Amino acid sequence: MKNEAEKVFEALGDSGRLTVLTGAGISAESGISTFRDSGGLWDQYEIEDVATPEAYAANPSLVQDFYNMRRAHLGTVQPNAGHRALVRLEELLGDRFTLITQNVDDLHDRAGSRRLLHMHGELYKARCVDCGVAVEWRTDISLDDRCESCSGSMRPHIVWFGELPFYLEREIPEACASSAVFFSIGTSGMVYPANTLASQVKARGGFCVEINLEKTAGQGVFDLQIEGQAGETLPLLIAELEALL
């Protein structure tokens, strides 16, 4: 990874910012199924039945049960070496670092990431359907649970298909606009608007790196593509980068 690290270091310079986007691939290495996996939890459900506002309106019990299962499973898995390597990168760069994740698990949090934006929400939170207040929630959510602020019903704090992701008004655009380097890790590049972030950085002259099991269709955007698991490639890359910083 020495040559790859040198390219990242050259693009980063002495004061450049680095933004990371992670997707389902890094969590899959810890044992969390993606909705494209065969035989996983998502394989038992249609996305339209459990991951849209319309699904929740039609059958809230089914939707709540699905996310209660996902929340329970989250307690059985642990962060991997890829998560921990990104914590080390944050320690090296400080406020020059931003981590954006599409994942709703807390594996980045548990690994120690702090400059972290959950753009698709968090499994360990619930949100009031009336006032929008989000609170920590580790147990099952039922239809009888009520918001302490306004007595509205509680739903998973998840961005469903058809809803607007979080942090798009300010934090994510600012991070992309000021980044010299952008890492896309473990994401298929198929989910909008996350799949536009690398191209935003590229359009401003940034250096874009993809780390994935296989190269995606965005080959025109990425200056460097590294094939392999995040848990194997990231520790090597960041160790070489640390030696240069």
The DSSP letter of residue 51 is S
| Residue with the two structure tokens 């296989």 | 214
In contact, 4 and 211? CB cutoff 8 Å: no
Residue 170's CB is within 10 A of a number of other CB atoms, namely: 8
Burial class (CB in 10 A: 0-12, 13-18, 19+), 77: middle
The DSSP letter of residue 176 is H
Beta bridge partners of 227: 212
What SS3 state is found at 52?
coil
Backbone dihedral angles phi then psi of residue 91, each to the nearest 5 degrees:
-65, -35
Question: What does the longest C-alpha to C-alpha distance in the chain come to?
Answer: 57
Is 120 assigned a catalytic role? yes
- Catalytic position from the list 83, 108, 118, 120: 120
| Cα 20 from chain centre | 9
Detail the DSSP E strand segments found in 86-201.
Answer: 97-101, 116-118, 121-128, 134-136, 154-158, 179-185
Please report, in angstroms and rounded to a whole number, the separation of the first and last CA atoms in the chain.
Answer: 15
For the chain, state the CA radius of gyration. 18
Give me the active site residues, please: 120
